[in-house]
Amino acid sequence: MSRVDFYILPDGSNSDRFACAIATKAWTNGNRVHIHTTSAASATTFDDLLWIYKDISFVPHEIFDGNAHEETPVTIGYDDHYPEPSQVMINLGADVPGFASRFERVIEIVGGNESMKQLARERYRQYKQADYEIHNHKIDSLTEDD
């Protein structure tokens, strides 16, 4: 069963920038990473953010259209589109994707307003019911790079 890591961010944190930092770290550790978003528009927005996330580094990535290039270690998708094989999924969607169990590790980022936190609590319950291995990480503060 997949491992699920919930990162609980301080109020007012930029969860998308934190997702960029996690994706970068997972990729530099040798993992293929898939970032699951809510829609085509969200995927495009996140794609743009990865281009400008850090001006001194580059994260090789592409929006997944059903055909992942073998050399692209980070993909961004929505709906039921995901590449195989990938080790890490960062879920930026509102629900637990039906394909979450196909990843060795799932990252959930909890931040923002109360409605976003409530959605994260519901995902937590779903993972718990499905018997995933769950780990919580409370992030007390973020640096400019996170």
Model confidence pLDDT, tens digit, residues 105-114: 999 999 877 8
CATH 3.40.50.10110 fits 3-98+106-138, yes or no: yes
What is the rounded distance in angstroms from the CA atom of residue 40 to the CA atom of residue 37? 8
pLDDT for the residue 14: 84
- List 75's β-bridge partners, or say none: 34, 62
Q: Which two tokens stand for residue 110?
A: 């909890």
Confidence tier at 145 by pLDDT (50, 70, 90) = low
Residue holding tokens 């919580």? 136
Measured CA to CA in angstroms, residue 134 lies from 23, 25, 45, 124 at distances of 19, 20, 29, 8
Contact 37, 80 (CB under 8 A): no
pLDDT for the residue 143: 65
pLDDT for the residue 16: 92
**Secondary structure class of 59 (helix, strand, coil):** coil
pLDDT for the residue 68: 64
Q: Which two tokens stand for residue 37?
A: 């978003």
Mean pLDDT score of the chain: 90
Residue holding tokens 């001006």? 55
pLDDT for the residue 106: 98
- Which runs of E-coded beta strand occur in the chain? 3-8, 33-36, 61-63, 74-77, 88-91, 105-110, 133-138
pLDDT for the residue 61: 92
Q: How far apart, in Å, do the first and last CA atoms of the chain sit?
A: 29
Domain parsing of the chain, residue ranges:
3-98+106-138
